[in-house]
Amino acid sequence: MSGIRKAKRCSTCAVRKITCDQKAPSCSQCLLTGRTCGGYHGQTVFVQHGFGGKRVRRKGKTDPETAKCLQIPDNKQEAKYPKARTGPAIKFQLAQTKEKFSTEQEYLVSIIIENFTPAQEVLLVNSGSGTAACLNSRVCGAWVTLLPDIVALSSVHLNVLQFAIKSLGYSVLGKVSEALEAYGETLRSLNDVLGVAGEGSLEDLLAVMLCLSMTEVLQGTEHTGWAMHTQGISKLVQERGPETFKRGVLHQLFTSFRIFMVLGSIQQRKDSFLDDPSWKTIPFMSEPKSLMQSLLDEVAGLPALLQRLDTISIPRRESQDREISSLLSDFLSQMNHLEDWEKNLKLTSGSNLVWWPVASSSERKTTFPTSYGFANILIANTMLHCWSFLIIVQISIGSLRIVTDRNDTGLPVEPRHRSGLSQDKTVELAKDICKSMQYHLQPEMKLYGPAATLFPINIAFQVFREAGMMKVAAWCEDSIVKLGQIGVRLAPYVPWIKSSESVQSEI
């Protein structure tokens, strides 16, 4: 939960803990004492905006200061589903290890890596042969596998990284009270670190913020916490520039969280710096792009389209006709890029199937008797989000139709897209998401598999609810509740996308 504000003193005066007149190019204090003025840097601060209510469903004793850090806004979003039962997040058989740990931190790091690394990737991690290209496809990312190295080199003051690891590790273990206490300690320590220029490396800070974000995924009772952490990381990354993330640990941290930054911008409906060509090229000059990263290239401009859509007034003005026509063309172009990307994936795979239908393992009658199998987790994860992005584009085009008050034939749509813009097509994409759930919820996918479905399953639920397909919507609702029971408690609080139905309610 963070923001960027202008520094109130130069970095030299900040370290000396004295007042500063903020003069440039050198403040008076540094000039008079013969010191080199460190300049003025944007300060990243962690704040709780408008907090006043109490957290719900987060039980366990915490000290008053911790409780104060964990309050939520009065206008918090209510869950759309029944409460998930509390308990340990682990719902799968952990691999037994003979390794002995000298400290609690080493043990918790091991727990985090074990629970966020799919079984098919464990050997890559353990052998040290896991590269950014093969591991950064995961929504939770390969960053957890970097924790031992980051901890070993950590320079963070007041053990803020240790607190962050405790918060996430205890969350994985289902120790709610300990997790929340460590969460509060992390926020307080992080404010102290960020208040002093040059304290803590960028690797340390990003790792801390990633731990906080994933703690919200496992412990979240509303969406605000995760969203604010995502905004904070986005601002910190943007401030450092694309050159910073070309190689090494910082590159993997960037690629790991890039999907969250894009999803955050989509939910905020605000343009993203990630759409700038430099952010699509410079960080990948030394490392190849994974399938997920190439998809994110295609959708980096989608948040800006949603922002433009929100500027269209209801009812529309004639002066907006040109912008509406241009926006429709851009949405269609976005859909074209995504469809072509999916076709190219199939073509480049040659005779190898990338996904295929399989009979569901359920013995009783199920809403989806057929589910999808995938060549690997990289493809499964990427396609799940590709279908979600296509749905968002189609929902947005539907909103434009309502605003323009025209029928389908009056819209300047290319013939190739007419069938793809029907509600039936949107429903089919939502069904594709549902058919992918069984693959992601396999025990060997650990916690990362369920966490990857957070955004897509909520999109599918929205489609079925608005289409009046209540039986399938109930299936999605049950799946979302199941995610909470597995340990991904943020699932019921992911907000829906603004749709034609919500636009109609505004007219």
What's the Cα-to-Cα distance from 353 to each of 137, 342, 350, 374, 404, rounded to whole Å?
Answer: 19, 13, 8, 8, 42
- Mean pLDDT over 421-447 rounds to 91
Contacts of range 351-357, beta carbons closer than 8 Å, 24 or more positions apart: 354/379, 354/383, 355/379, 355/380, 355/383, 357/435
361 burial level (CB within 10 Å; 0-12, 13-18, 19+): exposed
Token pair listed for 490: 């943020």
Could you tell me which residues are beta bridge partners of residue 92? none
Of residues 423 and 48, the one with the higher pLDDT is: 423
Of residues 275 and 146, the one with the higher pLDDT is: 275
The identity of residue 56, as a single letter, is V
Position 138 scores a pLDDT of 46
Separation of alpha carbons 71 and 342, rounded Å: 43
Task: Sort strands 2-5 and 43-46 into parallel, antiparallel or unpaired.
Answer: antiparallel
* Sign of the torsion angle spanned by Cα atoms 35, 36, 39, 43: negative
What DSSP element (H or E) covers 486?
helix 470-486
61 burial level (CB within 10 Å; 0-12, 13-18, 19+): exposed
Instruction: Report yes or no: 76 and 193 within 8 Å, Cβ to Cβ.
Output: no
For the segment 354-383, what is each residue's pLDDT rounded down to a tens digit?
888 998 665 556 788 889 999 888 889 999
Of residues 170 and 40, the one with the higher pLDDT is: 170
Position 66 scores a pLDDT of 33
Question: Percent of the chain at pLDDT above 70?
Answer: 70
Closest CA to 77 of 475, 506, 507, 491: 491
Contacts of range 281-288, beta carbons closer than 8 Å, 24 or more positions apart: 281/242, 282/242, 282/243, 282/245, 282/246, 283/242, 283/245, 283/246, 283/251, 283/254, 283/255, 285/246, 286/246, 286/247, 286/251, 287/131, 287/132, 287/133, 287/246, 287/247, 287/251, 287/255, 288/132, 288/133
Residue 449, pLDDT above cutoff 60: yes
Separation of alpha carbons 14 and 20, rounded Å: 8
Separation of alpha carbons 384 and 449, rounded Å: 11
Q: How confident is the model at residue 62 (pLDDT cuts 50, 70, 90)?
A: very low
Give this prediction's pTM.
0.78
Residue 223: how many other CB atoms lie within 10 Å: 18
Average pLDDT over the chain, rounded to whole? 77
How many CA atoms does the CB half-sphere of 162 hold within 13 Å? 12
Lowest model confidence (mean pLDDT) among 29-38, 218-227, 377-386? 29-38
Of residues 500 and 371, the one with the higher pLDDT is: 371
Position 13 scores a pLDDT of 74
Residue 18, pLDDT above cutoff 50: yes
Separation of alpha carbons 249 and 153, rounded Å: 11
What's the Cα-to-Cα distance from 354 to each of 135, 380, 439, rounded to whole Å?
Answer: 18, 9, 13
Strand, helix or coil for residue 357: strand
- Encode 302-316: b = buried (16+ Cβ within 10 Å), e = exposed: bbbbbebbeebeeeb
What DSSP element (H or E) covers 229?
helix 224-240
Q: How confident is the model at residue 404 (pLDDT cuts 50, 70, 90)?
A: low
Position 44 scores a pLDDT of 47
Residue 28, pLDDT above cutoff 80: no
Position 71 scores a pLDDT of 34
Q: How far apart are the first and last CA of the chain?
A: 34
Asked if the bond preceding 25 is cis, omega within 30° of 0, the reply is yes
Strand, helix or coil for residue 116: coil
Position 24 scores a pLDDT of 77
Residue 38, pLDDT above cutoff 80: no
Residue 68, pLDDT above cutoff 50: no
Residues 6+ apart with CB under 8 A from 200: 155, 156, 157, 160, 193, 194
Residues 6+ apart with CB under 8 A from 128: none
Position 501 scores a pLDDT of 54
Position 355 scores a pLDDT of 87
419 burial level (CB within 10 Å; 0-12, 13-18, 19+): exposed
Closest CA to 380 of 302, 471, 286, 444: 444
Question: Percent of the chain at pLDDT above 90?
Answer: 38
Q: How confident is the model at residue 272 (pLDDT cuts 50, 70, 90)?
A: very high
Lowest model confidence (mean pLDDT) among 313-322, 409-418, 455-464? 409-418
Separation of alpha carbons 163 and 206, rounded Å: 14
Of residues 232 and 389, the one with the higher pLDDT is: 389
Residue 432: how many other CB atoms lie within 10 Å: 20
Of residues 238 and 159, the one with the higher pLDDT is: 238
Separation of alpha carbons 7 and 42, rounded Å: 6
For the segment 98-135, what is each residue's pLDDT rounded down to a tens digit?
567 788 999 999 999 888 888 766 555 544 444 433 44
Lowest model confidence (mean pLDDT) among 124-133, 255-264, 437-446? 124-133
Of residues 64 and 313, the one with the higher pLDDT is: 313
Position 73 scores a pLDDT of 34
Residue 439, pLDDT above cutoff 90: yes
- Mean pLDDT over 135-148 rounds to 64
Position 102 scores a pLDDT of 82
